[in-house]
Amino acid sequence: MDSVCTSWSRLAWKASSEVYGKILEHPFIKELSAGTLPWEKFMYYLGQDALYLREFGQAMAAVASRFTELRNREMFMRFSAENLYSEKALHDFWLKDAAPAAASPTCLLCSSHLWRQVICEPPAVASASVLPCFLVYEMVGRHIYENAGDMSGNPYRKWIELYGGGSFGDSTEKLAALCDTLASESVSEPGLAPDSDIMRRMTDAFVTGVRLEWMFWDGAYRMEGWKI
């Protein structure tokens, strides 16, 4: 973690450390690591993840359009395309014969939170709200990869290798560095009132995003449906 996050992002990760610990303790993650997660729960998760990623890809493009700096626009479009391509390939591998899924309440909540940051908040906060999807998956994937032991018989080996094999590290590091820069620049932003501090809103958006990651896996484990 120290190698990818410094400054604001280090503090934001520390603020969400308790939630991250709960993610590692969740039965979805533990059973995925052991290869004992019921197949129907994994397929439910993938169906919801595919729906969310459609929104996520569009939201990433929208964040890119919020920046005036060409470098930041190109960065968002580049690592968005790289990561979404890898995940799409994974979904195509497992979901090619699956019936289309309907978005769960948690899936819609995750998408709504993301879009609210993208539309209503400044680019710094919008960027911070995107970071959990990169960072949490990288950290969880790495944790599973390093602790799963022999994965030769694990039906979820392909998922574990995608997220734990280091393919997301470069994008995560670049996004964290951008957020750190944006947070530093916001401190001297003229006319900024204490109750609308950009760094605080960035941290709030980040921590909420980490909480929603827990909720997403929890909803998948329960195979969440609409109550009415």
Report the mean per-residue pLDDT for the chain: 87
Better-predicted residue by pLDDT, 26 or 49: 26
Crossing angle (nearest 10°) for helices 7-15 and 169-187? 100
User: Smallest Cα–Cα separation from 175: which of 67, 58, 45, 88?
Assistant: 67
Predicted structure pTM score: 0.89
Determine the pLDDT at residue 171.
Answer: 82
Determine the pLDDT at residue 194.
Answer: 38
User: Smallest Cα–Cα separation from 77: which of 194, 208, 171, 140?
Assistant: 171
190-198 own/partner pairs: CB under 8 Å, 24+ apart: 198/122, 198/124, 198/125
Crossing angle (nearest 10°) for helices 17-25 and 198-222? 10
61: tokens are: 């493009």
Better-predicted residue by pLDDT, 1 or 7: 7
pLDDT in tens, 36-46: 999 999 999 99
Compute the distance between CA of residue 174 and CA of residue 178 in angstroms, rounded to an integer: 6
Determine the pLDDT at residue 83.
Answer: 62
pLDDT in tens, 100-153: 889 999 999 999 999 999 999 999 999 999 999 999 999 999 999 888 778 889
Q: Which residue has the tokens 């009415």?
A: 228
Q: Rounded to 5, what percent of the chain is helix, strand, coil?
A: 75, 0, 25
pLDDT in tens, 7-23: 899 999 999 999 999 99
For the chain, list the domains and their CATH numbers: 7-187+202-222 (1.20.910.10)
Determine the pLDDT at residue 166.
Answer: 65
pLDDT in tens, 146-180: 887 788 899 998 888 888 876 666 788 889 999 99
Better-predicted residue by pLDDT, 167 or 203: 203
pLDDT reading at 2 higher than 80: no
